[in-house]
Structure 1
Amino acid sequence: MASPRIRLHGSQLQQRFAMASIISRPPTAVSPSAASSPSAASTSASASTMPTSVGSKQGEDPGTVRFTNMQDLFNVMDRTTRDSLTVTNVSLDNFTKIECTREKKGRKFRFRDYGSDSRILIITIPTGLHEQLHKLLYDGYTRQVHHRSWINIGSTTLPSQQGHSGRGSKEGDSTGGPRPERAAKGAWPTLVIEAGVSQTLAQLRIIDMRRWFSMSNHEVKIVLLAKFDGTTILLEKWEEEIPVRPGATTTRHSLQHQEPVLRQTITITRDTTTDPISYHVTSGALVLSFRLLFLRDPGPREGDLAFGVQELEEYAEDVWAQV
């Protein structure tokens, strides 16, 4: 059964999203009952490690570092065991240099999110666990569609759409869209799957989910979040909708004020007391809307794409194998 809808209002998130808030405040205790609320998401998203000068202490594994020079940044990435690193003090010029150095050295890390106004760069470091979290889901869905009707956009660098405040760009974990509608160079995907191990769920919601919708000017239609915390895999399916006002009609202006809505939540847990080890899935199959993925109604023998309970159990087994 689909989870109750949670709507995240733009005003709530924009207040806190000056992304520096994500890294500048000490942890705040949140009660279990409040942790699932949108306001709690924003609060806990701001509770991350304090900025550390890059390379300042040997043996340290900080989640947030301050950019000083290229070599020190690469040294931190080589040492860290995390799948995500927040880098502050990254000017647009520095970002361009990091991008060029990445290509020159053939490094495989991704620019999860960059904002020139905030000068904050979120880097994804593709560990085996991180890659399994998103890639297995994406492959499971794309196997259900004809290869000529779908294009894999992958981790292509996508600059913010015209009209979005501030210059920025994103590179996703797994992304794709319909062919030919999203096959052109620079086209945004309709589906994005983002994984997180060291990031909190609240950070995934703000940095990934919310930013994908807004930076694409709402061309992204579905964002799946896959969060692993050692004992549980949490999957969230987010879409957008226009807030309903009595007597209001849908206009181009109202389309720009769509709000993210949590359509489905699935929790997968691991039971080590059984032989063999078993996996328990709540809420049934993870279903994606054909209309949102392909921007049209389904034709004969077409329909929504589903990742069934048995497939989710097998997915979980492969994810835990990376731990």
Structure 2
Amino acid sequence: MAAIISRSTTSPSASTILTSVKSTKDSDPPTVRFTNTQDLFDIINSTTGDFLTVTNIRRRNGQKKRCRKFRFRRYNANSRILIITIPTDIHEVLHLGLYTPYLRSTTEESWKNIGSARFRADQGHPGGDGAEGDSTGGPWPERAGAGNWPTLVIESGYSETLPELYKDMQWWFRTSNHEVKIVILAKFDDQQHHILLEKWEEEISSPQGAITRMKRQSITITRDETTNPVSYNVTRGALVLGFRLLFLRDPGPQEGDFVLSIQDLQLYVEKVWAELPRSD
């Protein structure tokens, strides 16, 4: 079980675009040019992956939610590029399978679950840059109030490439002015039969106060289909989230770092693999 260690696109119609909007795994991400809202929704509803890049879009184009079943991963006002996350089953279990056990280990009195709320850059990006994470949260009451940044962000990707996930991670640290403390990336690669988990933090790297992003952990979980039953091999140990970075204070009695053990990670990846889309 999870444990606490105590420590004191131009097109006449959507149908003509759809042939190019497919899950491409780790090749170039699918990209379309925005023409109108109806076509965009049609394209999103027909996309098989969990990731889509939309160009030529202004902030006002994305204001209509229309019961949308997608998230605004990132929006850059200067380039007018919107990155969309389509929450497929496998995408959701990739991040919730990590965040839910953590959430269970906290109390309502100490943690603010922010979910996929939208965050916007207030300084230096007047055009409306913004993002919606997969799973986010921060300490209560330290981060109470609308618009306060989370300390923990988890981003997952199935058809989203690892370089795009790195852009997500960089956006959270940079745009929050370093208020975000931990970013977890969960990348599924069914071609390599593994899931990659990376934990990113920041540290002051020079006497002048320069801040550097650091990959603190890289865990690979590989599926072995030669065994009966199928087994899952975890390299480089358990996933550990530091208490001080999560809660912005020292741990008290019975408090400590959050740990997902090797056994926890094996169960996690088994549940993820069960959501793998089946080919016809």
Task: Detail structure 1 runs of 4+ shifted over 3 Å in the superposition.
Answer: 51-54, 57-60, 163-167
C-alpha contact 2:114 2:150 (8 A) present in aligned 1:
yes
Aligned residues: 257
Superposed CA deviations along residues 170-224 of structure 1, whole A, max 9, x for unmatched, are: 1000000000111211111000000001111111001x10000011111100000
Structure 1 letter corresponding to 2:36: N
Identity of aligned residues (%): 58
Q: Identify the structure with the greater helix proportion.
A: 1
Q: Which amino acid aligns with 1:241?
A: E
> C-alpha separation between the residues in 1 aligned to 2:19 and 2:256?
51
User: Structure 1: 5+ residue runs without aligned partners?
Assistant: 1-50, 249-253
Q: What amino acid is the match of 2:164?
A: Q
Equivalent residue, structure 1, for 2:184: 224
The normalised TM-score by structure 2 is: 0.88
Shift of the alpha carbon at 1:259? Answer: 1.9
Q: For the aligned residues, what is the CA RMSD?
A: 1.6
Match of 1:288 among 231, 241, 256: 241
CA apart distance, 1:320? 0.1
- Aligned counterparts of 1:156 and 1:132: Cα–Cα separation in 2: 18
Alpha-carbon distance in 2 for matches of 1:124, 1:99: 16
Q: Which residue of 2 aligns with 1:66?
A: 33
Alignment of 1:85-96 (within 5 A): 85-94=52-61
Asked if the contact 1:161–1:217 (Cα under 8 Å) also holds between the matched residues in 2, the reply is: no
2:144 is matched with 183
- Equivalents in 1 of 2:186, 2:146: separation in Å? 27
**Mapped contact 1:65–1:88 kept (Cα < 8 A):** yes
Provide the residue aligned with 2:120 in structure 1. Answer: 159
> Which structure's residues are more often strand, by fraction?
2
Instruction: Give the whole-Å Cα distance in 2 for the aligned partners of 1:122 and 1:58.
Output: 17
Task: Note if 1:319 corresponds to 2:280.
Answer: no
Counterpart residue number, 2:5: none
**Does the CA contact (< 8 Å) of 1:117 and 1:167 recur in 2?**
no
Report the alpha carbon displacement of residue 92 of structure 1 after superposing the two structures with TM: 2.4
The answer as to whether partners of 1:270 and 1:278 remain within 8 angstroms in 2 is yes
- How far apart, in 2, do the equivalents of 1:64 and 1:142 lie? 34
Shift of 1:163: 3.9
Kept after mapping to 1: 8 A contact 2:18/2:43 = no
Name the residue aligned to 2:219: 266
User: What is the CA deviation profile of residues 78-102 of structure 1, one whole-angstrom value per residue up to 9, with x for unaligned ones?
Assistant: 11101011000012232xxx232x1
1:148 is displaced (CA, Å) by 1.5
User: What code does the residue aligned with 1:290 have?
Assistant: F
